[in-house]
Amino acid sequence: MSSQTPSPDHPAFLRLPPWVKSKLRPFAIPIIQKVHDWVETECIPAEPVMRAQLAQDRWKTPKLMHELRKKAKSLGLFNLFLPNHFEESPGLTNLEYACCAEIMGRCYWAAQTMNCHAPETGNIELLAKYCTPAQKEQWLKPLMEGTMCSAYSMTEPDRASSDATNIGCSLRIEGDECIINGRKLYGNAQWNPELGFYILMACSDPENPNPWNRHTTVIVPARSKGLTMTRNLTIMGYDHAPEGHGEYIYEDVRVPAANIILGPGRAFEIAQGRLGPGRIHHCMRLIGQSERAYELALIHAIDPAKKPRGKLIGAFDSNIERIADMRMGIDSMRLVVLNAADTMDIHGNKAGKYAIAQSKILVPIQAARIIDECMQMFGGQGLTQHTPLPEMWTYARFVRVADGPDAAHRHQVGRDALKAAEGFRERHKKYNERHAEICRAWGVDPGLGGRAIEDLL
């Protein structure tokens, strides 16, 4: 760990576009450098040790993780993701944090050492935004201090819950208690003893004529009676322990009504604010993963031991073109996501909705494609544990469905885009009016020359 004096030539900034570099404040530059040095020195080289500790006790946070979190916290590298408009924030903008997130992405679990991992980030932001001081004291504080873990519980096995109005898990308020019944997928695993609570989205008012007012968000302590985790869900075969992805049954689970966030029926108000930044974090981390996959592929490309037909892998023109495609693909993704982060900084999360969706849709597909290409360039070893590529690919593939499959987002973008069509039609009408004037001025028969435009209206 070094990086006392901030330097624009530091490798942490190497691939940032000039407009981003010029927006990084002197305050942020040494932080980004520290994140870089942290990941390079303490995380990536420790990967095999983390793996070894996890192999011994699968469903417990490894000692190494605990130690690294303690150390990162002491270095001021904790909760960096929380944007600077929150009072609890360490002070980075979304754009500045995005630069950190890419670096964190190079190691699958590095973000966790800095308390910047999903679902903690989204949950912390949600609690900071919508909780009462009392709720914050009880639930937000331990999360931010890193002494507790949380989960987010929304997806359901029996519904198309990517459309959240379909969520059916029932929440009934009786006196000062809520009673919850239903099935949930994809919250972190209860098996990890450090899991403290779930932020649950449930249906409390199914008959409400407004489908956006039917749902309630509530905090459910992790070891509530009646709450059973039936199994851990694997993702492409990976268990993602010790966090995991639980499959849950709620049977008459009772929770204090004081745990309701913002009030009954306001779950959508909450949900809308939650996901934007988290999606950007995922995307930047995927870019970091892609960069690392790309580096491994390039190291392989110049490996003197690997010479099919007597040539280095990287001496084949076809591979040279593939490398160019990867290089440009990664850099294009970065421009898209950094623009989304910047848009949020300037105009807010809501105005950034489109740019966030653009990232969410394009980046996971592109990252998975690039990592897949890297695996293929490695030949047979690329799919094995000889490289971290299979886990990287799986992460990218997972993000394609996390927070809704990309078709759902594409649909939303498309429907919003269609709203401009009427305006385009008006624009064309004006072209035609002006066209008639010009034809008159030049003595041209508008019927002849003009049909190309007219025919569209």
Site for a second copy in 375-394 (CB under 8 A): 376, 379-388, 390-391, 393-394
Environment class of 453 (CB within 10 Å of its CB; exposed 0-12, middle 13-18, buried 19+): middle
- Distance CA(9)–CA(32), nearest Å, equals 12
> Does residue 1 bind a second copy (CB under 8 A)?
no
Q: Which stretch binds a second copy (CB under 8 A): 1-9, 81-89, 276-284, 327-335?
A: 327-335
Nearer to a second copy, 141 or 440 (CB): 440
Element (H, E) at 324: helix 317-351
Contact flags string 185-204 toward a second copy, x per CB under 8 A = xx------------------
Query: Can you name the residues that pair with 443 across neighbouring β-strands?
Result: none
Candidate list 8, 302, 348, 350; residue touching a second copy; CB under 8 A: 302
Q: At what angle do helices 94-105 and 267-301 cross, to 10 degrees?
A: 50
Tell me how far apart the alpha carbons of residues 160 and 163 are, in angstroms, rounded to a whole number: 6
425, HSE (Cβ side, Cα atoms, 13 Å)? 8
Q: Does 73 bind a second copy (CB under 8 A)?
A: no
Please tell me whether residue 304 binds a second copy under the rule CB under 8 A.
no
Q: Which stretch binds a second copy (CB under 8 A): 72-80, 115-123, 145-153, 300-308?
A: 300-308
Is 415 a binding residue for a second copy by CB under 8 A? The answer is: yes
Q: CA–CA distance from 148 to each of 184, 195, 225, 371 (Å)? A: 21, 6, 19, 33
Spatial separation of the C-alpha atoms in residues 78 and 199, rounded to whole Å? 22
Nearer to a second copy, 137 or 160 (CB): 160
∠ CA 124-128-133, rounded to 5°? 125
What DSSP line would sit under 2-42, residue for residue? ---S--TTSGGGTTS-HHHHTT--TTHHHHHHHHHHHIIII
Nearer to a second copy, 130 or 378 (CB): 378
151 residue type, one letter = A
Our finding on whether 450 is near a second copy (CB under 8 A) is yes
Q: Which residues contact 41 (CB under 8 A, 6 or more apart)?
A: 1
Q: Residues 76, 132, 147, 160: which binds a second copy (CB under 8 A)?
A: 160
The residue with tokens 């010009």 is 438
253 or 355: CB nearest a second copy: 355
Choose one: 24-32, 113-121, 263-271, 395-403; the region binding a second copy (CB under 8 A): 395-403
Cβ of residue 140: shortest distance to a second copy, in angstroms?
27
Of 1, 25, 52, 145, the one binding a second copy (CB under 8 A) is 52
Is 46 a binder of a second copy (CB under 8 A)? Answer: yes
Which of 127, 152, 328 is CA-nearest to residue 245? 152
| Site size for a second copy (CB under 8 A) | 133
Does the footprint of a second copy cover residue 179 (CB under 8 A)? Answer: no
Out of 115, 322, 371, 395, the residue judged to bind a second copy by CB under 8 A: 322
Q: Segment near a second copy (CB under 8 A), from 117-125, 131-139, 199-207, 234-242?
A: 234-242
Q: Is residue 102 involved in binding a second copy (CB under 8 A)? A: no
Among 60, 136, 172, 428, the residue binding a second copy under the rule CB under 8 A is 428
Quick check: 171 and 178 in contact, CB under 8 A? yes
Task: State yes or no: residue 296 binds a second copy (CB under 8 A).
Answer: yes
Shortest reach from residue 440's CB to a second copy, in Å: 10
Sign of the CA dihedral with 397 first, then 282, 56, and 47 last: positive
The answer to whether residue 249 forms part of the interface with a second copy (CB under 8 A) is: no
Per CB under 8 A, 98 contacts a second copy: no
Residue 174, classified by CB atoms within 10 Å of its CB into exposed (0-12), middle (13-18) or buried (19+), is exposed
Residue 70 interacts with a second copy (CB under 8 A): yes or no = no
Exactly one of 112, 259, 343, 349 binds a second copy (CB under 8 A); that residue is: 343
